[in-house]
Amino acid sequence: MNDLDIALVGQTSLPGLCPIAEAVQQLATDSGRDERGAIFTRKEVVDFMLDLVGYSADQDLTSARLLEPSFGGGEFVVAAVARLVESWKRRGCVADLAACIYAVELHQSTFEATRESVRAKLKELGFEAAEAARLTQAWLHFGDFLLAPIPGRFDFVVGNPPYVRQELIPAALLEEYRRRFSTLYDRADLYVPFIERSLNLLAESGQMTFICADRWTKNKYGGPLRAKSPAGSHCEPLSI
């Protein structure tokens, strides 16, 4: 059983599991950046977004949970790890950091490369190899964010969701996404249900920021997401 098989075993029951699993396997192993909708984020943008939601080392981050729904090359995760560890060291408290970050990625080789980057960052920050490996395993999760069971709610949600047109998604998988997410409506891009699920996982007083196109704020397909978005939320365009 490979890593992707293990990732699928724990997911909720999927009607027609075989074609859906095959579609997820295809996206996880065969897809290039265009098919995955991967767009990497510059460090200054990452830092700005983490500052924007208040995920900063001068706060007690050891008692908070951060979600990154599609971590890709790990730009947000590595930056968040550095801030979390600095916050922890400043307080000199006894705390297990394992529950503080939950990050998901579907593309297998990208997942593996980022796993090594996070381990290396932790070693750079003074962690022994065994502890770096334990925390990395606790934080990074291999699977499809839109299908995988994700425990609890989160105080912070940050990231750069995938931009994938519906015609690039295998039919069985697209049907399952549509069954689960009302915002995958009309011609909505895949980033739209990513926002829906992230909002569902956000704690009542939580903060969320994504880099995303602003078309959903005015186009037909954004109607269900606009109706779902909490009062006071907004979409600010960034030049990246």
Name 103's bridge partners. 68, 140
Which residue from 197, 199, 220, 161 is spatially nearest to 36, judged by alpha carbons?
A: 161
Give CATH for domain 16-228: 3.40.50.150
pLDDT, position 31: 58
Buried b (16+ CB within 10 A) or exposed e, 107-144: bbebbeebbebbbebbeeeebeeeebbbbbeebbbbbb
Which tens digit of pLDDT belongs to each residue from 118-146? Answer: 999 999 999 999 999 999 999 999 999 99
For residues 185 and 229, give the distance between their C-alpha atoms in angstroms, rounded to a whole number. 15
> What pLDDT was estimated at residue 9?
38
Give the torsion through C-alpha atoms of 7, 13, 14, 16, to 10 deg. 110
pLDDT score for 236 = 52
The answer to whether residues 160 and 191 touch, using CB atoms and an 8 Å cutoff, is no
Predicted pLDDT at 217 = 85
Q: What is the pLDDT of residue 18?
A: 66
Closest by CA position to 80, among listed 63, 96, 57, 110: 57
Q: Which residues of the chain have pLDDT under 50?
A: 1-13, 15-16, 35-37, 232, 237-240
Query: What integer pLDDT is reported at residue 237 of this predicted model?
Result: 47
Domain boundaries, the chain: 16-228
pLDDT tens track for 180-215:
999 998 888 999 999 999 999 999 999 999 988 888
- Average pLDDT of the chain? 85
Q: Please report where in the chains the tokens 């996880």 appear, as a residue.
A: 28
**What integer pLDDT is reported at residue 188 of this predicted model?**
87
